[in-house]
Structure 1
């Protein structure tokens, strides 16, 4: 299976390189071939990820599998170390799925216009982005983790700056400046660990569970790593780059930014912070929990402000702020330092990727039809009236909204429930009154989340379809949209009704990381 994991990383890299070769003289035909190449390569990567999942030993998900471990930079003991366990496998499959769906969607909805590059450049950047995302979840060396973490920044920057809309260049600049600064701080923490422990190998460091590092070293390294990863998570108050990036990004950029890139930060907290510097994690856990609780309430209040009539709120910006709240639940679960909380965080990671990816696809479809994502315009005198004018899209938007607010039986419920349960009974050594307070704030956040999402559904989906529409010839769900969105709907239902599908994989691995065994 290690050959499958290596192929999983090399295939999109080869596909990205292939887009550099001229495919023909005809620009239109060239673009068509490039988009088909992107779909074929990402489809093959998805198949390989499913083969990897099928060959994964589910009886021992806490053990690293499909391992490759060879020397890369012997002088620094940096190794080309790859592997998957029950924590990383679902994220790898999610990444492969979302990238394929974005490539498929782009064959019909690639942003164009004056000064916008062609499909070859778009496809090459999308495949390079996939390499970095997959590698982040597969590498087991701190230096490789940093490099993989950085690979995604340049492709996403250009996807926003060249294929985005509105104030796309300032949004892209803000995105890369924030994330580069966070990465630089994170690297300092990694170097401090590696030089003091004598290795950058994440599995060896996890087994040692901080025994080779002094208390002071752990505190300094944990602070640096936490600060760097919190930018990507994004944790309040380091989130301010996110709404602008989402608002300006093209639809597929928003889907991958919310569905995968945000998960890289929280995955790093689970994979690196908790097992490698446990003393530092325990010291800073109450502060992380406090920021998480504030972020949950703040994100919900910001969404309520955008959803109210007359606020000129942008629907994409609202969904971006909702991610600040939802990722707050992930951070709260991690901060509890309990198996229940960390499992809830990992479950919420996957659920957020499925649900928010679907929401951004749907918002993109609404914007394509009405040529705006401004809520006041969509909810004008007659309303967008999706139930009457495009009932399938309206129904899907309502489905994604109730999934996002955490309706039992759908994916969004279990992660938030387990994260709050972890806060209710945090790990020994943490202040239970403080974490119960965080849990209460998170519970308030769920009520506020329900409020703003139901307001959005009312304003966008309802209205009088008998009145003249703001645009004529409003099409309902198209075949390419159905193909791109159906897997997300199905998985949202499946993981909501059968949570053991994910929890059975993650729990043994989480127990292993928290115990250091």
Structure 2
């Protein structure tokens, strides 16, 4: 890896953020005659693959040109005045915390565009679908690249409109109410978060996230920090999603099209936890310290609740939906992320960031697989999959069954796969929380978190047994040959996620070496 000139890095980062927006506008224009292929629908779907592929290529070049000897420093910075009267600036940059999230966003969006090129969701015009997909990518990338509180809020809200329409227009049964619930919950949370951002920025005299992190709360009174931490935390917790503010998530996932579920779980949930690490911990450290035990308590409640909900959905006769089950599993997995953040330690926060990335890879793969299974059988109901449609994927579609089992064992945190390290580090952070936090309380949180890992293994193994192995008492032999195994375009879309899940599990030092210096710069004075 050869570090590139800072001017080149600036141009790359701006191109990564701007290209999806330009591509979204271009998607709505008529396709040139020479690029229409078999028709305008194919042309616009090809356009989506091309633009998202170009964005992914640019993020890879940005990663290769990033100076890995100083990942704790902000690089590729662009900082120009935008609204001088309010002190709002067009400030972009990336470090060891945001760079992996940029790559994850670009990768998952490209894989979704590639998947949709062959398996376009049923719904209105492909033009609108591709434009919304690219707009969603732009908002997500901007959230991870901006370094101004007001720009962060605008990017944070930008993703709501495209995700609402992806659910409402291309979703399945119950898509209307699910889309409205998604928007209302996140909008209400965002209004509260905006108040907190204004309290923080106006009292600190700057909306610049780098300056706020460097100041580390100096000049802010204790009450101001408490108000800002509470308001910002509530808004971020809705997106995270933290129990009990999670109830929009299962409905949204169940109704969303496959690519909508992949992006919602893979990258949109990370916007909330990223905000905790980037804004809340360094900007209002006293407020974060005060609310850390409560955040940890809600986190472990989410871990246990999500696991118990999944066990209830997985049992025979419950008519549990497999997409809904994976959505509830996300509540539990993101609980580990929030627990790691609540420890206020380098170990815990690194674990949270690692679990963030692992969840994006693994849960993105699981939603792809469940979507493919629903396309083949017409259902994602567990009882129907295990009974009326035959179950026994190992025998009917061995590659599909094997991939589903792989995703399940990766999600339960099998050592050697990506899901293991983040949850382990989060629990280790709870074993030695930051100074001033109650260690006995965090030991209780650790015990409940460890119990959650056992419950996670239980429900995922039940799912594998019922769907992949089948039940001889339920299976109808005459239906055993009706499931098509993995197709070529599905291999192309899923293989990168499988490979990265294995690589991240076997080589955690690559990511931790990138993230840890940045975490240390955001949490100065923490000894572990």
- TM interval, shorter chain, is over 0.9
CA distance in 1, matches of 2:280, 2:252: 27
Q: How far 1:96 sits from its partner (Å)?
A: 0.2
CA distance in 2, matches of 1:511, 1:359: 33
1:67 matched to which residue of 2? 77
2:169 matched to which residue of 1? 162
Q: Is the 8 Å Cα contact of residues 206 and 516 (structure 1) preserved in structure 2?
A: no
Q: Secondary structure at the match of 1:273?
A: helix
Q: How far 1:357 sits from its partner (Å)?
A: 0.2
Q: How far 1:474 sits from its partner (Å)?
A: 2.1
TM-score by length of 2: 0.95
Q: How far 1:282 sits from its partner (Å)?
A: 0.1
Considering only aligned residues, what root-mean-square deviation do their CA atoms show, in Å?
A: 1.5
Task: Report whether the alignment pairs 1:226 with 2:265.
Answer: no
1:515 matched to which residue of 2? 524
1:498 matched to which residue of 2? 507
CA distance in 1, matches of 2:388, 2:27: 47
Q: Is the 8 Å Cα contact of residues 314 and 382 (structure 2) preserved in structure 1?
A: yes
Q: How far 1:118 sits from its partner (Å)?
A: 1.5
Out of 9, 14, 20, which is 2:22 matched to?
14
Out of 130, 133, 137, which is 1:130 matched to?
137
CA distance in 2, matches of 1:56, 1:279: 33
Q: Deviations over 1:55-86 (max 9, x none)?
A: 11111000000000000000011000000000
What are structure 1's unaligned runs of at least 5 residues? none
Aligned counterparts, 1:163-202, within 5 A? 163-202=170-209
Number of aligned residues: 514
Q: How far 1:198 sits from its partner (Å)?
A: 1.1
Out of 2, 10, 16, which is 1:2 matched to?
10
Q: Deviations over 1:351-379 (max 9, x none)?
A: 00000000000000110111000000001
Q: How far 1:385 sits from its partner (Å)?
A: 1.1
Q: Is the 8 Å Cα contact of residues 68 and 82 (structure 1) preserved in structure 2?
A: yes
Q: How far 1:9 sits from its partner (Å)?
A: 1.1
CA distance in 2, matches of 1:189, 1:65: 27
1:103 matched to which residue of 2? 113
Q: Is the 8 Å Cα contact of residues 362 and 497 (structure 2) preserved in structure 1?
A: yes
Moved over 6 A (4+): 24-28
CA distance in 1, matches of 2:388, 2:44: 43
Q: Secondary structure at the match of 1:67?
A: strand
CA distance in 1, matches of 2:480, 2:395: 14
CA distance in 2, matches of 1:91, 1:310: 39
What are structure 2's unaligned runs of at least 5 residues? 1-8
Q: Is the 8 Å Cα contact of residues 370 and 471 (structure 1) preserved in structure 2?
A: no
2:4 matched to which residue of 1? none
Out of 40, 60, 66, which is 2:50 matched to?
40
1:352 matched to which residue of 2? 359
CA distance in 1, matches of 2:286, 2:478: 60
Q: Is the 8 Å Cα contact of residues 387 and 475 (structure 2) preserved in structure 1?
A: no
Q: How far 1:23 sits from its partner (Å)?
A: 2.6
Q: Deviations over 1:412-449 (max 9, x none)?
A: 00000000000011000000000010000000000000
Q: How far 1:311 sits from its partner (Å)?
A: 0.3
2:150 matched to which residue of 1? 143
Q: How far 1:10 sits from its partner (Å)?
A: 1.3
Q: How far 1:468 sits from its partner (Å)?
A: 3.2
Q: How far 1:22 sits from its partner (Å)?
A: 2.2
Q: Secondary structure at the match of 1:70?
A: strand
CA distance in 1, matches of 2:86, 2:219: 17
